[in-house]
Protein backbone atom coordinates (compact mmCIF):
# COMPACT_ATOMS: atom_id res chain seq x y z
CA UNK A 1 0.00 0.00 0.00
CA UNK A 2 1.27 3.50 -0.83
CA UNK A 3 0.20 7.03 0.01
CA UNK A 4 -0.93 7.57 -3.57
CA UNK A 5 -2.75 4.22 -3.69
CA UNK A 6 -4.07 3.65 -0.17
CA UNK A 7 -6.45 0.86 -1.23
CA UNK A 8 -4.06 -1.00 -3.53
CA UNK A 9 -4.90 -4.63 -4.15
CA UNK A 10 -8.52 -4.48 -3.05
CA UNK A 11 -11.51 -5.57 -5.14
CA UNK A 12 -14.63 -3.42 -5.24
CA UNK A 13 -18.10 -3.69 -6.73
CA UNK A 14 -19.89 -0.44 -7.60
CA UNK A 15 -23.53 -0.55 -8.73
CA UNK A 16 -24.93 2.17 -10.95
CA UNK A 17 -21.39 2.83 -12.17
CA UNK A 18 -22.21 4.12 -15.64
CA UNK A 19 -22.76 7.75 -14.63
CA UNK A 20 -22.98 10.26 -11.81
CA UNK A 21 -21.80 9.30 -8.35
CA UNK A 22 -21.28 5.66 -9.33
CA UNK A 23 -18.98 6.47 -12.24
CA UNK A 24 -17.05 9.04 -10.20
CA UNK A 25 -16.67 6.56 -7.35
CA UNK A 26 -15.39 3.88 -9.71
CA UNK A 27 -12.77 6.27 -11.11
CA UNK A 28 -11.67 7.43 -7.65
CA UNK A 29 -11.42 3.87 -6.30
CA UNK A 30 -9.34 2.81 -9.30
CA UNK A 31 -7.05 5.78 -8.78
CA UNK A 32 -6.60 4.60 -5.17
CA UNK A 33 -5.39 1.20 -6.40
CA UNK A 34 -8.64 -0.77 -6.36
CA UNK A 35 -9.67 -3.15 -9.12
CA UNK A 36 -13.26 -2.06 -9.70
CA UNK A 37 -16.12 -4.18 -11.01
CA UNK A 38 -18.58 -1.77 -12.62
CA UNK A 39 -22.23 -2.69 -13.02
CA UNK A 40 -25.12 -0.90 -14.74
CA UNK A 41 -27.46 -1.55 -17.65
CA UNK A 42 -25.87 0.81 -20.19
CA UNK A 43 -22.99 -1.10 -21.81
CA UNK A 44 -21.59 1.83 -23.80
CA UNK A 45 -21.58 4.10 -20.76
CA UNK A 46 -19.82 1.41 -18.70
CA UNK A 47 -17.22 0.99 -21.45
CA UNK A 48 -16.62 4.74 -21.45
CA UNK A 49 -15.99 4.74 -17.69
CA UNK A 50 -13.71 1.74 -18.04
CA UNK A 51 -11.74 3.48 -20.80
CA UNK A 52 -11.24 6.48 -18.50
CA UNK A 53 -10.03 4.23 -15.70
CA UNK A 54 -7.57 2.38 -17.93
CA UNK A 55 -6.33 5.61 -19.52
CA UNK A 56 -5.51 6.87 -16.01
CA UNK A 57 -3.55 3.70 -15.23
CA UNK A 58 -6.23 1.90 -13.21
CA UNK A 59 -7.86 -1.48 -13.65
CA UNK A 60 -11.51 -2.45 -13.87
CA UNK A 61 -13.97 -5.00 -15.19
CA UNK A 62 -17.41 -4.17 -16.55
CA UNK A 63 -20.38 -6.39 -15.75
CA UNK A 64 -23.45 -5.08 -17.61
CA UNK A 65 -26.57 -6.21 -15.80
CA UNK A 66 -30.06 -5.25 -14.69
CA UNK A 67 -30.37 -5.54 -10.90
CA UNK A 68 -34.06 -6.29 -11.38
CA UNK A 69 -33.38 -9.57 -13.19
CA UNK A 70 -33.99 -12.45 -10.75
CA UNK A 71 -30.70 -14.27 -11.34
CA UNK A 72 -28.44 -11.33 -12.23
CA UNK A 73 -26.94 -10.76 -8.78
CA UNK A 74 -26.31 -14.45 -7.97
CA UNK A 75 -24.60 -14.87 -11.37
CA UNK A 76 -22.36 -11.85 -10.72
CA UNK A 77 -21.49 -13.10 -7.23
CA UNK A 78 -20.54 -16.48 -8.67
CA UNK A 79 -18.36 -14.86 -11.34
CA UNK A 80 -16.52 -12.70 -8.82
CA UNK A 81 -16.09 -15.67 -6.47
CA UNK A 82 -14.56 -17.77 -9.22
CA UNK A 83 -12.06 -15.08 -10.18
CA UNK A 84 -11.10 -13.43 -6.87
CA UNK A 85 -12.66 -15.61 -4.12
CA UNK A 86 -13.49 -12.49 -2.08
CA UNK A 87 -14.85 -8.95 -2.25
CA UNK A 88 -13.33 -6.13 -0.21
CA UNK A 89 -15.68 -3.25 -0.98
CA UNK A 90 -19.29 -2.99 -2.14
CA UNK A 91 -20.75 0.41 -2.95
CA UNK A 92 -24.54 0.18 -3.35
CA UNK A 93 -25.27 3.24 -5.43
CA UNK A 94 -27.81 2.26 -8.10
CA UNK A 95 -31.23 3.77 -7.44
CA UNK A 96 -34.46 4.56 -9.23
CA UNK A 97 -36.46 7.75 -8.70
CA UNK A 98 -40.17 7.36 -9.53
CA UNK A 99 -42.31 10.31 -10.50
CA UNK A 100 -42.76 12.74 -7.62
CA UNK A 101 -46.35 13.22 -6.48
CA UNK A 102 -48.87 12.75 -3.66
CA UNK A 103 -48.95 9.42 -1.85
CA UNK A 104 -52.57 9.02 -2.94
CA UNK A 105 -51.50 9.19 -6.59
CA UNK A 106 -48.38 7.02 -6.58
CA UNK A 107 -48.10 5.11 -9.88
CA UNK A 108 -47.97 1.44 -9.00
CA UNK A 109 -45.66 0.33 -11.79
CA UNK A 110 -43.09 3.05 -11.07
CA UNK A 111 -43.32 2.42 -7.33
CA UNK A 112 -42.75 -1.26 -8.00
CA UNK A 113 -39.65 -0.45 -10.04
CA UNK A 114 -38.32 1.72 -7.21
CA UNK A 115 -38.98 -1.03 -4.66
CA UNK A 116 -37.20 -3.56 -6.86
CA UNK A 117 -34.14 -1.41 -7.53
CA UNK A 118 -33.79 0.33 -4.18
CA UNK A 119 -34.95 -2.36 -1.76
CA UNK A 120 -35.14 -5.86 -3.24
CA UNK A 121 -31.84 -5.48 -5.09
CA UNK A 122 -30.17 -4.20 -1.93
CA UNK A 123 -31.24 -7.32 -0.05
CA UNK A 124 -30.11 -9.51 -2.94
CA UNK A 125 -26.70 -7.80 -3.01
CA UNK A 126 -26.28 -8.26 0.73
CA UNK A 127 -27.25 -11.92 0.47
CA UNK A 128 -25.26 -12.68 -2.65
CA UNK A 129 -22.01 -11.04 -1.59
CA UNK A 130 -22.09 -11.67 2.16
CA UNK A 131 -19.81 -14.75 1.95
CA UNK A 132 -17.29 -12.95 -0.27
CA UNK A 133 -17.21 -9.85 1.92
CA UNK A 134 -16.69 -11.99 5.02
CA UNK A 135 -13.69 -13.66 3.35
CA UNK A 136 -11.97 -10.28 3.14
CA UNK A 137 -9.86 -9.02 6.04
CA UNK A 138 -11.48 -5.63 5.57
CA UNK A 139 -14.88 -6.18 3.97
CA UNK A 140 -16.73 -2.88 3.73
CA UNK A 141 -20.20 -1.94 2.48
CA UNK A 142 -21.21 1.64 1.73
CA UNK A 143 -24.86 2.27 0.87
CA UNK A 144 -25.87 5.56 -0.73
CA UNK A 145 -29.10 6.96 0.68
CA UNK A 146 -31.06 10.21 0.60
CA UNK A 147 -32.03 12.72 3.25
CA UNK A 148 -35.70 12.14 2.41
CA UNK A 149 -35.45 8.69 4.00
CA UNK A 150 -35.44 10.30 7.45
CA UNK A 151 -36.40 13.93 6.76
CA UNK A 152 -39.66 13.30 4.95
CA UNK A 153 -41.27 15.86 2.69
CA UNK A 154 -44.43 16.12 0.56
CA UNK A 155 -44.53 14.38 -2.82
CA UNK A 156 -41.44 12.28 -2.13
CA UNK A 157 -43.31 9.40 -0.47
CA UNK A 158 -42.56 6.72 -3.07
CA UNK A 159 -38.82 7.31 -3.28
CA UNK A 160 -38.39 8.18 0.40
CA UNK A 161 -40.10 5.01 1.59
CA UNK A 162 -37.81 2.83 -0.54
CA UNK A 163 -34.72 4.59 0.74
CA UNK A 164 -35.95 4.26 4.33
CA UNK A 165 -36.40 0.52 3.76
CA UNK A 166 -32.93 0.30 2.24
CA UNK A 167 -31.43 1.97 5.31
CA UNK A 168 -33.21 -0.49 7.61
CA UNK A 169 -31.83 -3.45 5.65
CA UNK A 170 -28.29 -2.06 5.80
CA UNK A 171 -28.48 -1.25 9.49
CA UNK A 172 -29.94 -4.63 10.43
CA UNK A 173 -27.28 -6.39 8.38
CA UNK A 174 -24.58 -4.33 10.09
CA UNK A 175 -25.82 -5.42 13.51
CA UNK A 176 -26.10 -9.05 12.44
CA UNK A 177 -22.52 -9.34 11.21
CA UNK A 178 -20.59 -7.14 13.63
CA UNK A 179 -19.85 -9.87 16.18
CA UNK A 180 -19.12 -12.68 13.75
CA UNK A 181 -16.90 -10.99 11.16
CA UNK A 182 -14.72 -7.98 10.38
CA UNK A 183 -17.35 -6.68 7.96
CA UNK A 184 -18.47 -3.09 8.49
CA UNK A 185 -21.35 -1.14 6.98
CA UNK A 186 -21.75 2.60 6.41
CA UNK A 187 -24.73 4.61 5.18
CA UNK A 188 -23.76 7.73 3.26
CA UNK A 189 -26.07 10.56 2.27
CA UNK A 190 -24.37 12.33 -0.65
CA UNK A 191 -26.43 15.48 -0.16
CA UNK A 192 -27.21 17.82 -3.05
CA UNK A 193 -25.07 16.57 -5.94
CA UNK A 194 -24.93 17.33 -9.67
CA UNK A 195 -26.53 14.20 -11.15
CA UNK A 196 -29.19 13.36 -13.72
CA UNK A 197 -31.50 12.19 -10.93
CA UNK A 198 -31.11 15.54 -9.15
CA UNK A 199 -31.86 17.38 -12.41
CA UNK A 200 -35.10 15.41 -12.85
CA UNK A 201 -36.18 16.13 -9.28
CA UNK A 202 -35.23 19.82 -9.41
CA UNK A 203 -35.58 20.86 -13.08
CA UNK A 204 -35.29 24.59 -12.33
CA UNK A 205 -32.09 24.33 -10.30
CA UNK A 206 -28.79 25.65 -11.63
CA UNK A 207 -26.56 22.54 -11.56
CA UNK A 208 -23.52 24.68 -10.88
CA UNK A 209 -24.94 25.55 -7.45
CA UNK A 210 -24.50 21.98 -6.18
CA UNK A 211 -21.32 19.94 -5.82
CA UNK A 212 -20.08 17.58 -8.55
CA UNK A 213 -20.20 13.80 -7.96
CA UNK A 214 -16.41 13.71 -7.63
CA UNK A 215 -16.72 15.31 -4.17
CA UNK A 216 -18.83 12.37 -2.98
CA UNK A 217 -16.51 9.88 -4.68
CA UNK A 218 -13.44 11.35 -3.01
CA UNK A 219 -15.16 11.18 0.37
CA UNK A 220 -15.98 7.51 -0.16
CA UNK A 221 -12.33 6.74 -0.91
CA UNK A 222 -11.24 8.79 2.10
CA UNK A 223 -13.66 6.90 4.33
CA UNK A 224 -12.32 3.57 3.12
CA UNK A 225 -8.69 4.64 3.44
CA UNK A 226 -9.11 5.99 6.97
CA UNK A 227 -11.64 3.25 7.79
CA UNK A 228 -14.87 3.70 9.70
CA UNK A 229 -16.71 2.03 12.58
CA UNK A 230 -19.58 -0.31 11.88
CA UNK A 231 -22.93 1.44 11.37
CA UNK A 232 -21.20 4.68 10.42
CA UNK A 233 -23.51 7.37 9.02
CA UNK A 234 -22.75 10.75 7.54
CA UNK A 235 -23.90 13.36 5.05
CA UNK A 236 -21.45 14.75 2.51
CA UNK A 237 -21.55 18.53 2.65
CA UNK A 238 -20.51 21.03 0.02
CA UNK A 239 -16.79 21.79 0.22
CA UNK A 240 -15.93 25.14 1.78
Considering the candidates 96, 155, 159, 202, report the single residue annotated as catalytic: 159
Of 107, 105, 106, 118, give the one whose Cα is nearest residue 197. Answer: 118
Count Cβ atoms within 10 A of the Cβ of residue 105 and give its class: 0-12 exposed, 13-18 middle, 19 or more buried.
Answer: exposed
Indicate the length of the chain as a whole number: 240
Of 185, 171, 170, give the one whose Cα is nearest residue 227. Answer: 185
d(CA 238, CA 192): 8
The residues, any chain, with a CB within 8 Å of residue 55's CB and separated by 6 or more, are: none
Task: Mark whether 155 is an active-site residue.
Answer: no
- Any idea which residues carry the catalytic annotation? 159
Amino acid sequence: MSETKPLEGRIALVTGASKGIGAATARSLAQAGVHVVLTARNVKALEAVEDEIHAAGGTSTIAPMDLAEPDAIPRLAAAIASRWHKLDIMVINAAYLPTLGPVSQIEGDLFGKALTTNVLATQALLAGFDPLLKRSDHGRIIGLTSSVATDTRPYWGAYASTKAAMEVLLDCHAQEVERISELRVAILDPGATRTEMRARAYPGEDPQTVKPPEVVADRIVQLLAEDFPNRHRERVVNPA
